[in-house]
Amino acid sequence: MLILGGGLAGVACAHALGDEGVAVTLVDRNDYHQFQPLLYQVVTSQLPAEDIARPHRTIFADYPSVQVVTAPVKAVHLIERSLVLSDGRTLSGSHFVMAAGARPNFFGVPGAAEHTFPMYSVSDAERLRLHLQRLLHEVMSGATTAEGVLDVVVVGGGPTGVETAGALAELMQALHESGRLARPGRITVVDRGPALLAPFSSKAHHYAVTKLAEAGATVRLGVGVSAVHPDRVEFDDRSVIPAHTVVWGGGESGAAVAQNAGPGPGRGGRLDVRPDLTLARYPGVYAVGDVANIPSHDGDALPQLGSVAQQSGRWAAENILRERRNEPTKPFSYKDKGIMAMIGRNAAVAEVGKRHHEVQGPLAFAAWLGLHAILLSGAHSKADAFLSWAWDYFDRDHAAFIEASSAPQRIAWSDDEHDEPHISLERHDLTIRSPATPSGDNHG
C-alpha cells in the first residue's frame, strides 16, 4: 500500500492498515505530522512549533509494517499507482491513497502570494511568528518609531482568521497593558462575506464580532482584497489599510501534486471522489482529507475539517481491507461531531453533534478541547498531557507568558532527542508559485 501525505487523513489510514499488519509505505516531504488547529498558538508564542509537529517516526514506532519515506515527490502516476521521488526513486503499491492535503488559494489577488503570510502549515506559523517577533523587538527597543509597524490585517473570517485575529489582539493588548508597548498594533480582520464564521448560526456571528471587538480587533465585512503590497492592503471599495503584516486565511485548494496527477480537479482544486472514496477510472486509487471533494448524504461536498480527514482516512483503509478480502467497498459514512472555533480567552463558539447544538464561552471551549483531544489521540498516546496543558493555557494570565520574545516550554513527545521534528522554514514553492496557482502543501 502506498500513501501520499502524513497529515490526519494519511496517518489515520496508515494506522488502520498497520493495525492489520498490512505493509504500508507513507510518503511525506516532512518528517512530522502537524496539528493545524493550533497553528495560531504558535504564531503568538503560546506554543513552540515543535509541540504541534509530531515526528512520523514516533507515531509509527509500534507499527513495524509501516515504512515512512521522507522526500519530496516529483511526479504521481495514478494508473500505475506509483510515485517518483525527487531523488529519482519510484515507489508503487497495490493500492494508492492520495492524502496530500491543501495549499492556500490566493484567488489571483495581485501581491497576495508574495506579501502575505498563509496559515496552513507549521512552517507558515513559525515564519509569521519570527516576522512579528522581529517587528516587536524593533518597536520595543526603539529601533523604529514609524507608526503602524505592528498593525496586522487578517484576510478571511473563517475559523483560521478569527482564531488568529483573536490571539494577535490579545497579544497586543497584553504587551500594551504590561508597559512593553506604548500603543498596541491594530488587528483588522476582513472578509468578503456578510458574517464571520459563516457556517455557524447568526447568534455565533454576532458573538464572534463582539468578542473580537472586546479584544481590541476591528472587523470589516462585505469587502474583498484587491491587492496586497509590502506596506498596505487595497480593497475593492477603494479603501486602503496600512499594514506591514498580512495574514492570509482566505481559502484553500487541493495540493498541487493532486491537481497535476491526471484527473481534472473539481471544486476548490480538489479531486472528486465517488461515495466509497475511490477515483473514477483509477482502480485501487483513493483520495481522502482536504485533497478530496467527498460527497455527503445530500450530495454536497463535506467541509475541510480535521474530523472529516481522519474519518475518511480510516474509511479508505477499511475499504482497502475489504478489497483484499474480495468484498465490495462501502460508501463513506461521516459522523458529524460539529463545528467550533476559538476566539480568545473565555471566548469560543461550538455547534456540537449532528444537530449542531450551540454553546458559547467556557462550555464551548470544553467542546473544542474534547474534539481536538479526540483528533490528537489518533496521532499519539499523550492526549492526557494535552488536556492538562490546555486547561493551564485557558486559565493562565496571558500577559505573563505571551510576549513574543519568550520561549515557551515544550511538551516532550519523547525522551529521545532524535524524535524531534525537523521544521524547515524554506518555501518549497517559490519557483512554481504564481498568484493564480499558489503552492504550500506539505504532502511530500
Domains observed in the chain: 2-35+52-104+252-334 (3.50.50.60), 112-250+338-400 (3.50.50.100)
Q: How confident is the model at residue 352 (pLDDT cuts 50, 70, 90)?
A: confident
- What DSSP character marks residue 11? H
Taking all residues of the chain, what is their mean pLDDT, rounded to a whole number? 84
pLDDT band at residue 380, thresholds of 50, 70 and 90?
very low
For 148: left if phi > 0, alpha if psi spans -120 to 50, otherwise beta; the answer is: left
| DSSP symbol at 298 | T
Q: Average pLDDT of 198-205? A: 90
CA dist 412 to 382, 385, 398, 402, Å? 10, 9, 22, 20
Work out whether the CA dihedral 71, 72, 74, 80 comes out positive or negative.
Answer: positive
Is 125:39 a contact under the CB 8 Å cutoff? yes
Q: Would you state the pLDDT for residue 201?
A: 87
- Among the ranges 73-82, 167-176, 382-391, which has the highest mean pLDDT value? 73-82
* Residue 187, pLDDT score: 97
Q: How confident is the model at residue 419 (pLDDT cuts 50, 70, 90)?
A: low
pLDDT value at residue 390: 57
Confidence band of 386 (pLDDT split at 50, 70, 90): low
119: closest CA among 127, 111, 107, 110?
127
Model pLDDT, residue 217: 96
pLDDT attached to residue 443: 42
Q: Which string of b and e fits 50-84 if b means at least 16 CB within 10 Å? A: bbbbbbbbbbbeebeebebbbbebeebebeebebe
Q: For position 340, what pLDDT does the model report?
A: 81
How would residue 376 be classed by pLDDT, with cut points 50, 70 and 90?
low
At 385, is the pLDDT very low, low, confident or very high (cuts 50, 70, 90)? very low
